Structure 1
Amino acid sequence: MEQRAAERKLTEKGLATRGRIIEGAVREVRARGVAATTLDDVRNATRTSKSQLFHYFPEGKAGLLLAVAHWEADRVLADQQPYLDELTSWEAWEAWRDVVVRRYREQGQQCPLSTLLSGIGRSEPESRDIVVGLLSSWQNRLAAGIRSMRDQGEIGAGVDVDRSAAALLAGLQGGVVVMLATGSVTHLEIALDSAIEQLRASAA
């Protein structure tokens, strides 16, 4: 909350500078890991002076990592749009499935959520709250799509919307974990295909 309030007080130029620093920090964290990334690494990568960096992030590394966590969390959901918020037909579900697989195939080890969970999400309570909020928002959007399809009669009336959304998200993340370990998106594809097929079959 404090991060968002601070952003609202900045000028357009200030927001651009702050954003440039955050994006540079994102690249450094992904390349080096949370623990190994220093403020000097970020300063050198973004050609930012020490005084300028602390102007935008007076809490130092902790504040910068919190901003990185916000940036990564926002990207996870943004990468799935507009499909994630328009799951109102089976064609839309297939389009969402395809964009998720494509994004993870392209991102590989640079997966935003893996960056959050592997270090930033465990470093500070505020960062963990960002991860929890991200997963909650993601699940709620999937639930909205399932509910829409159930209301249309495309999914069985007896389907538990929230449990189905939770299972779908858990399966997706399980596929991502396997992908990070093996480099293959096969398990992710199977998890998504199986979940969607199960939802479709529920109306039979």
Structure 2
Amino acid sequence: MNKGLTAKGRATRQRIVVATALLTREKGAAETTLDDVRAATATSKSQLFHYFPEGRSDILTAVAEYEAGQVLDVQQPFLGDLSTWESWQKWRQAVLDHYIELGQRCPLGSLTTELGKSSAEARAILTTLFTEWEEALFLGVRTLTSAEPEAARIRARSILAAIQGGVVMLQATGVTDYLTAALMTSTDPLRPTAEGTD
């Protein structure tokens, strides 16, 4: 989407995307209007349509892409190498710290409950996010436990579902305990295997 834009144009477009992401976290995608975006970014209507020709749907798709990248980026470098129990613990703590800090303004909650429903393009971005995330967890489970592929896939999906459920409850209630319990419970079964190989 940035093809043909100058460096200044790319920076302006990114500024609009980031500001809109913050708006959707605060207000929800359904309640975020183009007027809200214009006010938050001090841009004109013509500027918005220059960078996002399809208007609101284009902006929300760009926000979904941005937020999906944020979800994975904050888990690095741990998500990229879950080969030891220590790396799993560091990854788990990074996830908890991130969502506890953001609370009800977390991008994952916004993605799954709001942005993922805004268009087919946004849904595809969300699907890609979960596929990449699941694959990283799957590889980590396989490396750490030598589990059979099917069992490792089920474990990876259960961890991912635990995070998602905990985040949705966090967004609804503002309480982080659900996420902490879900993440600990879904990953603790990996601990005995890890400790037994030390």
> When the two structures are superposed, what TM-score results if normalisation uses the length of structure 2?
0.90
Contact 1:139/1:169, CA 8 A, preserved across alignment:
yes
Other-structure match for 1:116: 111
Contact 2:142 2:149 in 1 (8 A): no
Superposed counterparts of 1:50-65, under 5 Å: 50-65=45-60
* 1:49 corresponds to: 44
Structure 2: distance between partners of 1:71 and 1:147: 29
Matched, 1:90 2:85: yes
Q: Give 4+ residue runs of structure 1 displaced > 4 Å after superposition.
A: 156-159
From 157, 163, 180, give the equivalent of 2:154: 163
1:159 and 1:52 map into 2 onto residues whose CA distance is 50
Q: Is the 8 A contact 1:54 1:60 kept in 2?
A: yes
Q: Distance in 2 between matches of 1:19 and 1:119?
A: 20
Count of paired positions: 195
Structure number with the bigger relative contact order (C-alpha 8 A, sep ≥ 6) is 2
Residue 47 of structure 1 aligns to which amino acid in structure 2?
A
- 1:184 aligned to 175, 179, 184, which one? 175
Identity of aligned residues (%): 45
CA shift at 1:14, angstroms?
A: 1.3
Determine the structure 1 residue equivalent to 2:70: 75
RMSD across aligned positions (CA) = 1.8
| Equivalent pair of 2:145/2:190 in contact (CA under 8 Å) | no
Deviations 1:171-193 (A, max 9, x none): 12222222223322222222222
Q: CA deviation at 1:35?
A: 2.1
Aligned to 1:197: 188
Decide whether aligned partners of structure 1 residues 78 and 158 sit closer, same or farther in structure 2, where only a CA change above 3 A counts.
closer
The answer as to whether partners of 1:175 and 1:191 remain within 8 angstroms in 2 is yes
Match of 1:3 in 2: none
Pick closer, same or farther for the CA change 1:27–1:178 going to 2, 3 Å: closer
Q: CA deviation at 1:121?
A: 0.9
CA distance in 2, matches of 1:132, 1:143: 16
Kindly state the Cα deviation for residue 90 of structure 1 after the two structures are TM-superposed: 0.9
* Residues in 1 aligned to 2:122 and 2:111: alpha-carbon distance in whole angstroms: 8
Contact 1:159 1:202 in 2 (8 A): no
Query: 1:202 Cα shift?
Result: 5.0
Cα shift readout 1:54-85 (whole Å, capped 9, x = no counterpart): 11101111101110111111111111111111
Distance 1:118 1:97 in 2: 23
List gaps (5 residues or longer) in structure 1. 1-5
Counterpart AA for 1:72: E
Q: What letter matches 1:49 in structure 2?
A: S
Distance 1:18-1:69 versus aligned 2 partners, 3 A rule: same
Map Cα deviations across residues 136-156 of structure 1 (whole Å, 9 max, x no partner).
1111111111122134xxxx5
> Helix, strand or coil: the match of 1:8?
coil
Relative to structure 1, the CA distance from residue 41 to residue 180 in structure 2 (aligned partners, 3 Å threshold; closer, same or farther) is closer
Change in CA separation of 1:159 and 1:121 when aligned onto 2, cut-off 3 Å: closer
Quote the offset at 1:157 in angstroms: 6.0
Which letter does structure 2 place at the counterpart of 1:53? L
